[in-house]
Chain A
Amino acid sequence: AQSVTQLGSHVSVSEGALVLLRCNYSSSVPPYLFWYVQYPNQGLQLLLKYTSAATLVKGINGFEAEFKKSETSFHLTKPSAHMSDAAEYFCAVSVGGGTSYGKLTFGQGTILTVHP
């Protein structure tokens, strides 16, 4: 079975500061990894995905994440936070095979607050 741990349920940064949201995963087989963002009263929007190509993945809105197999991590970063980045962020894992059809295992989420 797969699992995801997001370190820090709340992260607060100043506008223009580095954003770092931490995600560690557990999987017995090579994983697919995703980051999603959720704004209030909305669904989840895909930020980026890792599917075993390049370990450094660039996503939308200036976000990127690096897959580190040795650390089983997939941390999300953005060099300079904007007020519009305030939202809840979810890391998710899936694997190949029939038991994984349509199934993502999500972390508990990290709420990002951006101060002016």
Chain B
Amino acid sequence: KAGVTQTPRYLIKTRGQQVTLSCSPISGHRSVSWYQQTPGQGLQFLFEYFSETQRNKGNFPGRFSGRQFSNSRSEMNVSTLELGDSALYLCASSLDGAGGSPLHFGNGTRLTVT
């Protein structure tokens, strides 16, 4: 079974621009979550989608948004980029997103904002 696929692997953007990251979950997984990883703040939860609906959201500004398509693929968008948005963005999928369901992570998209 193919794992979680994230594209692109690397991105370099300028302050003020916007960016879209893509995630394809494991086949059969309907829940997709997004995380931000930085050296200072560690791993932080952004949001979770299930059946095209956002069910849970972390403590991030509205510049961070996402969506999920009918095939469970997900995209994450960051608008008006700031230097502090430089991070590794990880997508994870699970069968149903419930507490006991383990998350399976992709290799991430490394975003650098200059």
Residues of A near any B CB (own CB < 8 A): 32, 34, 36, 41-46, 49, 51-52, 90, 92, 94-109
Per a CB cutoff under 8 Å, which of A36, A44, A99, A101 touches B31?
A101
Please tell me if the beta carbons of A46 and B107 are within 8 angstroms of each other in the complex: no
Which residues between 81 and 114 of chain B lie within 8 Å of chain A, taking CB atoms? 90, 92, 94, 97-100, 102-108
Chain B contact residues, CB within 8 Å of chain A: 4, 6, 31-33, 42-43, 45, 47-50, 55-56, 58, 90, 92, 94, 97-100, 102-108
Contact B42 A32 (CB under 8 A): no
Knowing A101-B31, A102-B97, A106-B42, the reply to whether A45 touches B105 (Cβ < 8 A) is yes
- A-side contacts of B42, CB under 8 Å: 106-109
Q: How far is the CA of A90 from the CA of B103 in the complex (A)?
A: 13
Which one of A43, A46, A90, A96 contacts B98 once the chains associate, using CB atoms below 8 Å? A96
- How far apart sit A12 and B1, CA to CA, in the bound complex (Å)? 35
Complex contacts, A49 vs chain B, CB 8 Å: 100, 102
Residue from B45, B94, B104 having most chain A Cβ neighbours under 10 A = B45
User: Closest residue to B50 on the A side, CB-wise?
Assistant: A101
Knowing A46-B102, A102-B31, A103-B33 touch, does A90 contact B43 (C-beta < 8 A)?
yes
28 A-B residue pairings within 8 Å (CB atoms): A32-B100, A41-B107, A43-B90, A43-B107, A46-B102, A46-B104, A49-B100, A49-B102, A51-B100, A94-B100, A95-B99, A96-B99, A97-B99, A98-B56, A100-B56, A100-B98, A101-B48, A101-B56, A101-B98, A102-B48, A102-B56, A102-B92, A102-B94, A102-B103, A104-B43, A104-B103, A106-B43, A108-B42
